[in-house]
Structure 1
Amino acid sequence: MDQIKTIHIVSFLDSLTKDGARQGFRKGNLSTGTIEINHRVLKNIFSRAVEWKLLKLNPQLLRALQKESIHWRTMITLALTTGLRRGELLGLEWHHIDWEMGVLSVIQSVSMSPAGIVHVKEPKTKASKRKVALPPSMLEELKDYYSHKLDERDKVGDRWQGGKYNFMFCHPDGKAFHQERPYLWFRAFLKKNNLRYIKFHSLRHTSATLLINQGVHAKIISERLGHGNIQVTMNIYGFALRSADRAAADKFESFLTGRQE
C-alpha cells in the first residue's frame, strides 16, 4: 500500500472514464456517480490506513513530541504503547503501576460534568478492567515523570486539590483534567508542527495496528484494548489482521522457496 503514488490513483480514476470501463453482464460506460463512489472508497481506505498506521508512522511526529513537556510527552507515548482510552488514561493513579512487574492496572476512568464535577467510575465492561504490560523504556519514562510530579506537588503544598486521588495526568494542583483536554492539546500540537490531523482516539488504533503488524495474536491485542470479546477486535481491525495474515503467508512462501533451492 505504501508503494501507491498519487499518479497511480489518478490513472485508475481516469481509466474509469474510458469507453467499456464497465465489465460483466452490462458492459459499457460507468456513470459519473459510480466513478465518484470509487473515488470516495479509495479516499476512505487511504485515510484509514494512515490513521491506523498501516502506512508508515510519521517520524516527524515522534521528533516533535520530544520537544514537548514531560507531561504531554509521557501521556502520548503511554497512549501509543498501551492503547488505553482517553478516560482510562485520565483515571490512572500512581498506585496502579506495579513497578517491579512493569504492569499497569486499568480499573477506572474519569470524566467531568458540564458543572465541573469530577466523576471517577469503573470501566463500562468487565473486560475493560485489565492489566497491561509496559515496555521497559516506557517504565523508565514513567519513573522520570513520577519524580517530576513529586516535585510539582511539593511546590503546590497546601493548594493541593486532588483529594483522595493521585492522578498521573492532571493539573499541577492535582485536580483532574476535563476529558477534552488531551484532545485539544493534541490537536494544537499537530497544527503547531504542521502535521496531518488525526483524532486523539486514533492513538489507540495505532497501538493496535502496530501490534498486528508485529504478529501479536488478536486475543492478546483484544485483552490489551479491553474489548468485550475477540470478535469486537476482529470487526474493528479485520482488514489489518487479514493484511498481517497475508504477510505471514508470504513469509512461509519465502521459507519454502528457500528450502527448495
Structure 2
Amino acid sequence: MARRKHSKDGEGTGSGRPRRSRSRHAGSIAGYATRQGQRWKFQIYAVKDPERPELGETRITRGGFKTLDEAQTALVGALRKKAQNERFQGTVPTIGAYAAEWMKSLRLEASTVQGYEKVIRNHITPALGGIRVDKLTATRIAAHYRDLEKSGRRDQRGYGKPLSANTVNKVHVTLGAILEAALADGLIRVNPAKKKRTVNAPTGSQIRAQRPEIVTWSGPQLHAFLGWNRDIFNDDLFPLWRTIAYTGIRRSEALALRWGDVNFGTGRLSIRRAADVTTRNKAKSTKTGSARVIDLDGETLATLKVYRTKRGSISLDLAQPDAYVFGNDAGAIRSPNEVGRRWTYRVERAQAVVDGLPRITLKGLRHTHATLLLELGEHPKVVQERLGHSTITTTMNIYSHVTPTMQKAAVDRFAAHLDEA
C-alpha cells in the first residue's frame, strides 16, 4: 500500500482536513467531524505549575466549538490566561503588581509615561496597591477618591492637603486604563472604574471651577517688560521671550525650533516639534502630534534675522537650517526647566523697575498672547490655530475670563450698527 504524502505542516494532502499550526507557543486549531456536524478545537502547551517551571509543560485541549471564530476567540483567551499565569505565578495579581506590568506595555511619549508613573506611585499604589485586581470594587474606588479630595497631596509643600479635582481626575483616568487592560487580559469581567454613579469621579465643570486664575500682562505691561529686557537688561534671550509673546507657542515648541522652520520670505513659522522635558537634548512631536504654521509680525521677524546673524558669528554651524534657533552655544536644545528658571529671575528683576508688573510664568506669556488677541476682538478660531489647541472648545474653556470683554465689545458694535441704520 502506498504511503500518503504529508506536507511540511503535517497536514495530509488528500485528507481534506483544515490547516493547523503546530506552534507550541501560539497554539493550534483543528476541525473534526461529529454526529452533530463540524466542530473545532484548540490546543496549547502551558507550564504544569507556574511556581515550579522546572516540571515542564502540559498539553491543554478544548473542543466543541461550532465555528472557527469561536475557537480562535477561545484560543486567544487561553493564551492570555497562560501569559498571566506565567507572569504572576498562577495567581491574580495585586493592583500594584499589575500596574507595574501595565507600565512596561506602554508605547507613549516619555513625558506621558513619566506622568503615569507619578500618579501610580503617589496616588494609586499606596492605598490600592495591595488589593487583588479582581477584588477592587467601585465602592472602594469611590472611597479612595474622597480620601484624595480631603488629604491626597504628597508634595512637600502641600503634603496632606486636599488634592485638586484635576489631579483626582488624572488618577481616575490612569486607574481606569489599568483596569481596562486587566479586563482585556481576562482578570476581571467588568471595569469597576466605569461605574460612574458609584465612583463619582470629578466632572469637567468641577475641574474648571478649581482651575487657578490665569495671570497675564496687559499690552502696556508686556511692552514695558520687553523694552526693559532688551535695552536695560541687555538679555541674550530677548528673541526667545519676544517670539513666545508674539506667537503664543509653547516653551517646548520654541526651544525645538530650527532655523529651517523660519521662512523669512513669507514671514511664517512652522511648528513641527517640541523639546522633551524628560530627556536632555531630545525633541519629540508637538503636544497634539501635528504640525502647524503661524504668521510672524515684521518686528519679530527682524529680531530673528539679527539673532541668526549673531549666532552665526559664534559659529557658522549655529546658523545652519538644521540648527536650533534658541539652542545653547554647543548647538544643543536648552533645558526647558533651566529656561523657566531664567524667565522667573528676569521677571523678578523687572518688577523692581516696572511699576505694578504682576509675576507671571513663562506659560503666562503664552496666555498673554491669547488673551490680548481675544480682547482685541480676534476670532477664537485664529487663536486656537496659533496656540495649537486640538479643538476650539479647549481655547474657549481656558480663556473664558475674556468672554465678558468680548461680549461688551460685541454689544457696543451691535448698538452702534443699529443707531446708524
Please say whether Structure 1 and Structure 2 have the same fold, judged by a TM-score greater than 0.5. yes
- Provide the rounded CA distance (Å) in 2 between the counterparts of 1:58 and 1:139: 18
* In the alignment, structure 1 residue 105 sits paired with structure 2 residue 262: no
Q: For residue 383 of structure 2, what is the aligned residue in structure 1? A: 221
User: Residue 294 of structure 2 aligns to a residue in which SS?
Assistant: strand
Q: For residue 133 of structure 1, what is the aligned residue in structure 2? A: 295
* Matched AA of 2:346: F
Q: For residue 226 of structure 2, what is the aligned residue in structure 1? A: 62
Once the two structures are overlaid, the 10-residue window that deviates more, 52-61 or 199-208, is 52-61
Q: How does 1:52-201 map to 2 (within 5 A)?
A: 52-53=216-217, 57=221, 59-67=223-231, 68-69=233-234, 71-113=236-278, 117-127=280-290, 129-154=291-316, 165-193=322-350, 194=352, 195-201=357-363
- Give the number of aligned pairs: 205
Structure 1 residue 56, shift from structure 2 partner: 5.5
Q: For residue 11 of structure 1, what is the aligned residue in structure 2? A: none
Deviations 1:169-201 (A, max 9, x none): 121121221111221111111112224321110
* In the alignment, structure 1 residue 202 sits paired with structure 2 residue 359: no
Q: Which runs of 5+ in 1 are unaligned?
A: 1-43
Q: For residue 99 of structure 2, what is the aligned residue in structure 1? A: none
* Matched AA of 1:256: L
Q: Which runs of 5+ in 2 are unaligned?
A: 1-208
Deviations 1:12-62 (A, max 9, x none): xxxxxxxxxxxxxxxxxxxxxxxxxxxxxxxx9xx947x234685355323
Contact 1:126 1:228 in 2 (8 A): no
Q: For residue 246 of structure 1, what is the aligned residue in structure 2? A: 408
Q: From the superposition, tell whether residues 135 and 58 of structure 1 become closer, same or farther in structure 2 (CA, over 3 Å).
A: closer
* Matched AA of 1:63: G
Structure 1 residue 124, shift from structure 2 partner: 2.8
1:230 aligned to which of 387, 392, 395: 392
Quote the RMSD (CA, aligned, Å). Answer: 2.8
Contact 2:259 2:322 in 1 (8 A): no
Q: Highest relative contact order (Cα 8 Å, sep 6+), 1 or 2?
A: 1
User: Residue 276 of structure 2 aligns to a residue in which SS?
Assistant: strand
Structure 1 residue 238, shift from structure 2 partner: 1.8
Query: TM-score when scaled to structure 1?
Result: 0.70
Structure 1 residue 163, shift from structure 2 partner: 11
Q: From the superposition, tell whether residues 136 and 228 of structure 1 become closer, same or farther in structure 2 (CA, over 3 Å).
A: same
Structure 1 residue 111, shift from structure 2 partner: 2.4
* Matched AA of 1:61: F
* Matched AA of 1:65: N
* Matched AA of 2:377: G
Q: From the superposition, tell whether residues 214 and 124 of structure 1 become closer, same or farther in structure 2 (CA, over 3 Å).
A: same
- Provide the rounded CA distance (Å) in 2 between the counterparts of 1:236 and 1:242: 14
Q: From the superposition, tell whether residues 149 and 69 of structure 1 become closer, same or farther in structure 2 (CA, over 3 Å).
A: farther
Q: From the superposition, tell whether residues 48 and 65 of structure 1 become closer, same or farther in structure 2 (CA, over 3 Å).
A: farther
Structure 1 residue 65, shift from structure 2 partner: 1.6
* Matched AA of 1:103: R
- Provide the rounded CA distance (Å) in 1 between the counterparts of 2:409 and 2:391: 25
Q: How does 1:20-35 map to 2 (within 5 A)?
A: none
- Provide the rounded CA distance (Å) in 1 between the counterparts of 2:327 and 2:301: 19
Contact 1:71 1:145 in 2 (8 A): no
Identity value in percent: 25
Deviations 1:82-141 (A, max 9, x none): 10111001000000011111110000011254xx632211113145x2001001111111
Q: From the superposition, tell whether residues 70 and 140 of structure 1 become closer, same or farther in structure 2 (CA, over 3 Å).
A: farther
Q: From the superposition, tell whether residues 70 and 100 of structure 1 become closer, same or farther in structure 2 (CA, over 3 Å).
A: farther
User: Residue 170 of structure 1 aligns to a residue in which SS?
Assistant: coil
